[in-house]
Amino acid sequence: MAGKKSHTSARSTKAKTPRARSSAKPRPAVESTSPKAGAKAKPVTRKQTTTTAKAAPKVTARKRQTTKAKSTPKVTARKHTAPKAAGKDFDFNSWLLPTLELEHYEPSIEEEAGVQDHIKGSTRFAWLGAGQCGGRLVKSFYDLGYRKALAVNTTHHDLDLLEIPASQKFLMDIGEHGAGKDMERGKAAVEQHSQEILHSARKTFGTQVDRIMVCFGAGGGTGSGSVKGLIEVAKRYARYIGIKDPNKKVGCIMTLPTTGESSSPMVAQNAWQVATDLSKMASKGEISPLIIVDNDKVGKMYPGMTVRNFWPSINNTVAALFDIFNRLSAMSSRYTSFDPVDYHSIIESGGCAIMGLTKVAQVGDKFALSQAVKKNLEKTLLAGGFNLRSAKLAGCIAVGGKKLMTNVKGLQDNIDYAFDVLSEVTGNATIHRGIYEDNRDSLRVYTIIGGMDACTARLEELKSRSAVTVG
């Protein structure tokens, strides 16, 4: 038995209680369940069924294996007996400390519905929006039916303008209106209020959530400064509701500033800093996915937007595009289904992710179609500067009008060929495919590319701007 000692954990001290030591025969390790030595202890947890005084040596099979049992392989019989205070050298601490058994149990969480969603996707998302951009992004998701949205800000002015229920807004009061592009203030705000934000998240989201996305705009003070703290809060919430691997279930949507905005060195510096930090976290698998939306690129892709519709148009496009993958992954197709498992593997692949939509005019010609997809791909993705060949996984879904699907000969082949071309462009990333039909008159190709390295070229550009000194 002595040789076994080296295998035992700190918990083995229990076996050295006077009672255990005085036993003539080798006794099963003693597990204490009650602080009352020698008392007839009541079961203390749902799962524990044996009571201390009734501990029978014949008990050989236990449903619940304790750490101790694992570390002393020879012990087959287990009893849950409280230590007896027999003898003056009874060491109260040595048996009291190991009773922290409850740490091994999941707290029993009651199902709470939280705010009800109105979506038809395969995955239940909760949204945490920080700063003005984050708040407006989550509002766009809210409008699509993703009602589990919570906006946080350091100023009530931005929150007041958000048309979501007051209970889904949280003011991180730091005594000033906004962080004034000072990331330290954003950071301090979340540190000061993290407990209350967690509380609001629990109340708003409930327990029926699969993934949490934190949204913000890189460049400001509130969102950029608080995002890392909020990711932590999101992970705490995830653990609280029993999500197993929070690193894979908490992601981000981050926007990058326009050229005009980043002519301010502070905006460029903030954006470079936070985008670099989050890209590192994403590549280490600490968040997944990190979806990047470059406001500058989107602004140039859709020229002629008015001031009034600039942000709402971008936000609604981002939300609708994100929603497409979630929604289609819940639908089966008579052609090729994009399964929830496909979808999840992409969004869990870590690294950076981008999304895009290409409309294809020439569908009847195999090469024209694949060329259109290839040529349009980089142009139509919502952010650039990535090495697409670093992608691990991608999803590509072609949605064609019923008439096209019925009348165009060889369309399935042509679409398949376009998928192959995409695989080539992404350095042979695994492409999860989907082919669906709708009532429109066109063929649209929706793409999400995941598991990529950071958009180094774009980050360098931001860095160079942040070096410019004013005056």
Ligand X SMILES: Nc1nc2c(ncn2[C@@H]2O[C@H](COP(=O)(O)OP(=O)(O)OP(=O)(O)O)[C@@H](O)[C@H]2O)c(=O)[nH]1
Question: Does residue 261 bind ligand X (CB under 6 A)?
Answer: yes
The least CB distance from residue 451 to ligand X, in Å, is: 23
Q: Would you count residue 351 as binding ligand X (CB under 6 A)? A: no
Contacts for 444 with CB less than 8 Å, ≥ 6 apart: 357, 358, 359, 360, 398, 399, 400
- 444 within 8 A of 343, measured Cβ to Cβ: no
Identify whether the C-beta of residue 164 lies closer than 8 Å to the C-beta of residue 149.
yes
Smallest distance, Å, CB 272 to ligand X? 12
Binding site partner of 451, from Mg ion, ligand X, none, Cβ cut-off 5-8 A by kind: none
Token pair recorded at residue 281: 């976290």
Residues binding ligand X: number (CB under 6 A)? 24
Burial class (CB within 10 angstroms; exposed 0-12, middle 13-18, buried 19+) of 423? middle
Binding at 43: pick from ligand X, Mg ion, none (beta carbon under 5-8 Å per type): none
DSSP H helices, 334-455, are 340-347, 366-380, 402-407, 411-425
Which string of x and - marks every residue 166-205 that binds ligand X (by CB under 6 A)?
------------xxxx------------------------
Among the listed residues 267, 346, 398, 431, the single contact to ligand X using CB under 6 A:
267
Q: CA-to-CA distance for 53 and 63, rounded, in angstroms?
A: 19
* Chain position carrying tokens 């255990």: 20
Looking at the Cβ atoms of 47 and 308, the one nearer to ligand X is 308
Q: Cα separation of 412 and 433, whole Å?
A: 12
Cα dist from 247 to 41, 239, 284, 451, whole Å = 40, 10, 10, 14
Q: Name which of ligand X, Mg ion, none residue 255 binds, using a CB cut-off of 5 to 8 Å depending on partner kind.
A: ligand X
What does the block give as tokens for 342?
């496909």
Scanning residues 120 to 139, which ones bind ligand X (CB under 6 A)?
131-133, 136
Pairwise CA distance, residues 186 & 227, whole Å: 8
- Please state the φ and ψ torsions of residue 152, each to the nearest 5 degrees: -120, 145
Write out the residues near Mg ion by the rule CB under 5 A.
132, 178
Buried residues in 219-241 as b, exposed as e (16+ CB within 10 A): bbbbbbbbbbbbbbbbbbbbeeb
Site string for ligand X, 223-252 (x = CB under 6 A): x-----------------------------
Q: Is 154 in the site for ligand X (CB under 6 A)?
A: yes
- Which CB atom, from 133 or from 372, has the smaller least distance to ligand X? 133
In the bound state with ligand X, the residue whose beta carbon lies nearer, of 132 and 326, is 132
Residue among 318 and 388 whose Cβ is closer to ligand X = 318
257 touches ligand X (CB under 6 A)? yes
Minimum distance between the CB of residue 128 and Mg ion, rounded to whole angstroms? 16
Q: Which residues bind ligand X (CB under 6 A)?
A: 131-133, 136, 154, 178-181, 217, 219-223, 255, 257-258, 261, 267, 295, 311, 314-315
